[in-house]
Structure 1
Amino acid sequence: MTREEESALVRATFRIFQNWKIDAAQACRILGVEDPDGLARLQAGASEGHPADMVDRMALILTIHTSLRIWFRDPERSYGWMRRPNLTFDNLPPIQLIETEAGARRLKAYLDASIEAG
């Protein structure tokens, strides 16, 4: 991935976080950033050559967002869905699932299956 592509992915990720109302502490957990200062540097574009696992997490967030936009025509409904408890996920809101890679992949698989089922 080029620097320009990485920068675009970072910008898109933070726009998604804003829409999903993710705070700095949760963004740190999702991206594997150790402290809020590191998160601020990342958001400001100050760091380059992001770790591969962080890039993978951001790409997964973008994929989940894209799936939600397919599933819900109204963006506000998709943002709300991410915050509401869901019986499929042991009554956790999907926003909590994405704090771990396993949870994010579980959510992605659920959305993929739901879209495929139509």
Structure 2
Amino acid sequence: MSSSKREAPPLHLTRAEQVALVRTSVALMGHWGLSEEDARRALGGIGLDVMTAWRRGIPQGLTAQSSFRLAKLLQIHAWLKVQSADPARSASWMQRPNRLFDDHRPVDLTFGETENGIDRLLSYLRSASSPW
């Protein structure tokens, strides 16, 4: 995988889908117990003004690239739900340093400018959940 940013293909979301995506993504950051700063980093390094808008359901600054990033964060949440139905356990796992990730917290992998860490985390969760 390259560490450079890949340009996302066009994404055709309705306004209602954009609103749902930003609201759900911001709520997920709270579910994971992230600080304001860490939440903004996980959401793509967004500024405080964008975070405030997203909390209000205003998809300010939402691009195809950021939409794909948010969708991947929601996939992480979905794969964690496959592992355990207990929300506290999922949030705890995201916050706990893990040897598989060089003693970083899994959530730390979401902080990069590129999505390589997110992809690594998703790959792990998919393989850990696979019955074969």
TM-score normalised by structure 2 residue count:
0.81
Q: In 1, distance between residues paired with 2:74 and 2:27?
A: 10
**1:3/1:49 contact within 8 Å kept:** no
Q: Residue 69 of structure 2: which of 53, 57, 60 is its match?
A: 57
CA–CA distance in 2 between the matches of 1:19 and 1:44?
17
Q: Which amino acid aligns with 1:116?
A: S
1:19 to 28, 31, 47: 31
Higher RCO structure (Cα 8 Å, ≥6 apart): 2
Residue of structure 1 aligned with 2:82, choices 67, 70, 81 = 70
**Corresponding residue of 2:127:** 113
Aligned residues: 118
Higher helix share: 1
Q: Name the CA shift for 1:11/1:47 in 2 (closer, same or farther; >3 Å).
A: closer
Q: What is the distance in 2 between the residues matched to 1:26 and 1:47? A: 19
Q: Which moved more, 1:44-53 or 1:22-31?
A: 44-53
CA gap of 1:55–1:19, structure 2 versus 1, over 3 A, is same
1:86-105 alignment to 2 at 5 Å?
A: 86-100=98-112, 101-105=115-119
Residue segments in structure 2 that go unaligned for 5+ positions in a row: 1-12
| Structure 1 SS opposite 2:62 | coil
Q: AA paired with 1:56?
A: F
Rounded Cα–Cα distance in structure 2 between residues aligned with 1:47 and 1:93: 28
Show CA shifts across 1:87-113 (max 9, x none). Answer: 000010101111121111100000000
Of 70-79 and 81-90, deviating more is 70-79
Instruction: State percent identity of aligned pairs.
Output: 35
Q: Residue 38 of structure 1 corresponds to which residue in structure 2?
A: 50
Question: Which structure 1 residue ranges, 5 or more long, are not aligned?
Answer: none
Deviates more, 1:5-14 or 1:55-64: 5-14
Length-normalised TM-score, structure 1: 0.90
